[in-house]
Structure 1
Amino acid sequence: MTDTAVTDTAVLRQRAPEQQREPDPPRRARRVPAGLLRTARPRQWVKNVLVVAAPAAAGELFSAPAPARLALVFVLFTACAAAVYLVNDARDAEADRAHPVKRHRPVAAGDVPVPLAYAAGGALGVLAPVLAAWLCPAPVAVLLTAYLAMQLAYCVSLKHVLVVDLAVVTTGFLMRAMIGGLALGIPLSRWFLITTGFGALFMVAAKRYSEAVQMAGKDGATRALLTEYTTGYLRFVWQLAAGVAVLGYCLWAMEEGGVPHTSVLPWRQLSVIPFVLAVLRYAVFADRGTAGEPEDVVLRDRALALIGVVWLAMYGLAVANW
């Protein structure tokens, strides 16, 4: 071997460890804040828009204190939800590493240390209810505390209990819809609660059904209950929930439509049409097993978005008594 070859070999041996080293500390430090933000699930924050549901239904969305107070409630609920996501991902880090998609989550991938995820989740979980108790009516702080307790119990054990896991996730959506009314002191209609609750159960069961269909025969399912639920049972649940949600909305619309009004057309009653069409359109994705990410279905399907806009317009005209 020539002197040049020996020198090149030595250089390669010196470079090899450098090439195998982890990214430099500054680069790793920059990944942590981004990882924390990703773990907080910004794409899921669209669900928290439900805080405006009760005020919008009551026609109080633009009253004097409503916008600022609802913005505050949205931020507080988002902080609580982020706290739950952080704790959940810290607990499920090992299981997520075996999942074909969830292994890319920042905690599972090692971008965010597990202790830091726990600490950030704990800080948000304490701060949000304290701020709610200070800045909002007492029922808001109570509901946020109950939401956190329920969701953390879900992370620890309830997600392993058949049917209860569906009820807990559904209740989380219902709490989102209730908290705006509590913040403004608006009475909550029984039909509003029934429609919202069963509409949420419809989407939750459709999501579970889609996950079960997509993970059938595959390894790495992080939801143990997906192996215990049958697709037939989950299909039954989302179909039942869809039917009750539609019935509840029809009764709500007809009851409110009986109130004397001066509008050109009975918009509240007519809004039943786009509502039913929206449920039927979403059911297409549920039936195909492609409703695993509800926010993607709602935001990406143009027909569903158009139906939603029509429904909002009709309901807005009903509230405005136009």
Structure 2
Amino acid sequence: MSIQQPARPAPTAISAPLIAAPDRPSWVRLPVAVVLTARPRQWPKNLLVFAAPLTGSALGRGSRALGGVTVAFIAFTLASCAVYFVNDVLDAERDRRHPRKCLRPIASGDLRENHALAVAALCVAGAATAVVFSPGLGLSWAVAAYLVLSFLYCGRLKHLAVVELLLVASGFVLRALGGAAAAQVPPSGWFVLVCSLGALLVVIAKRYTEITSLGGASAAHRPSLSHYTPRGLRLAQRLTAATMVAAYCAWAATEPDTWTAQWHLATLLPLVAALVRFDRLTAAGGTGHIEDLLIRDVPMLCLELTWLLLFVVGLAIHP
């Protein structure tokens, strides 16, 4: 990845948000602010806990594995909500100068910082309670590691180029490992590598869309962006995607069952098509929400569902 060290531009004040904040009655403002800060649109990320049990065929062995993974989903959802509350408290001043983030409840004043921290503490307590119902300590360690790394990221590490990419990507990987631990499925090294590269790919693409949509003001809102170039991020994204495909092939080819290996290789087709589509959508830029490219673009969604359907069918018809 190409990294440069240009002079950091001074923060630019924005006189008014690009989107008008809705006018809500005072009695609904607090609960709505809490829900918005919890970022429900981000919760689908926690479905990654089902990745290892699905690829390891554990979900078809009974309700025990499914119950364990459901606990993992709840634990990571609560843990991630705690991180969002803390992050928005620490970033409130910077968010007020952002054309879209200035509408976040804490930045706009709809949610007081002490209330946000209290909700964060409750979410952490809820996550800690949830992991008690998981067998072993694997999920507990995964959730604890996620919280520690995420809070470190919210502090100063988010401003360190490359390091911040790895920290955000680690959150995705820990979700997958937590799900594997909850279902008591030992993940293969290739599986962990594929998850890691996929997570890194999404984070790099997110930084690219941020730097292209915000332009010269990008570094004022995320200082680490001053160390990246659009060309460098695009190159890193494509190299990561190519490496991910190679790792996926290696994972499929190393399956001990020949039939399973061949079926997994067949699922590579919609995966590659989805990566190509994702690359084209990222190149178009224009959005700071990378999730919109993954779940709101109809062709992309169809390719993702095709991959999932092929995988599930393969598990169902396995001789």
CA distance in 2, matches of 1:219, 1:233: 16
* Residue type of the alignment partner of 2:216: G
1:63 maps onto 2:82 in alignment: no
Which residue is equivalent to 2:29?
31
What's 2:257 paired with? 259
CA gap of 1:127–1:218, structure 2 versus 1, over 3 A, is same
Q: Is the Cα–Cα contact under 8 Å of residues 212 and 231 in structure 1 kept in the other structure?
A: yes
**Deviations along 1:84-116, whole A, 9 cap, x unmatched?**
000110111111111010000111111100111
Name the structure 2 match of 1:50: 48
Q: In the alignment, is residue 307 of structure 1 matched against residue 303 of structure 2?
A: yes
Is contact 2:56–2:185 with CA below 8 Å preserved after alignment?
A: yes
Deviations 1:251-271 (A, max 9, x none): 112222x6244x8x9422211
SS in 1 for 2:221: coil
Percent of paired sites with the same residue:
35
| Matching residue's letter, 1:259 | D
Q: Which has the larger radius of gyration?
A: 1
- Are residues 169 and 61 of structure 1, via their aligned partners in 2, closer, same or farther at CA, if it must alter by over 3 Å? same
Offset at residue 63 of structure 1 (A): 2.5
- Measured after TM superposition, the shift of residue 152 of structure 1 is 0.3
8 Å Cα contact 2:191/2:248 also seen in 1:
yes
TM-score of the aligned structures, taking structure 2 as reference length:
0.87
Q: Give the distance between the partners of 1:290 and 1:173, measured in 2 at CA.
A: 24
1:230-276 Cα distance to aligned partner (Å, 9 max, x none): 212212221121111111111112222x6244x8x942221111111
Aligned residues of 1:100 and 1:220 also touching (Cα < 8 A): no
Match in the other structure for 1:178: 177
Contact map agreement 1:210 1:289 (CA 8 A) in 2 = yes
Which amino acid is 2:290 matched to?
A: P
Aligned to 1:278: 274
Map 1:1-322 to 2 at 5 A: 27-64=25-62, 65-133=64-132, 135-218=134-217, 221-256=220-255, 259-261=257-259, 266-290=262-286, 292-320=288-316, 321=318
TM-score normalized by the length of structure 1: 0.86
Distance 2:126 2:238 in 1: 39
> Mind listing any 5+ residue stretches in structure 2 that lack a counterpart?
1-22
From the superposition, tell whether residues 131 and 279 of structure 1 become closer, same or farther in structure 2 (CA, over 3 Å).
same
Partner of 1:18: none
Aligned length: 295
Kindly indicate whether the alpha-carbon contact (under 8 Å) linking 1:266 and 1:318 is maintained by their aligned counterparts in 2: no
Measured on the aligned residues, the alpha-carbon RMSD in Å equals 2.0
Moved over 3 A (4+): 133-136, 218-221
Shift of 1:188: 0.6
Q: Secondary structure at the match of 1:217?
A: helix
Match of 2:19 in 1: none
What is the rounded CA distance, in whole Å, between the counterparts of 1:197 and 1:76 in structure 2? 21
* Distance across 2 between alignment mates of 1:219 and 1:158: 17
User: Structure 1, residues 144-184: CA drift from partner, whole Å, max 9, x if none?
Assistant: 11110100000011101111000000000111111111112
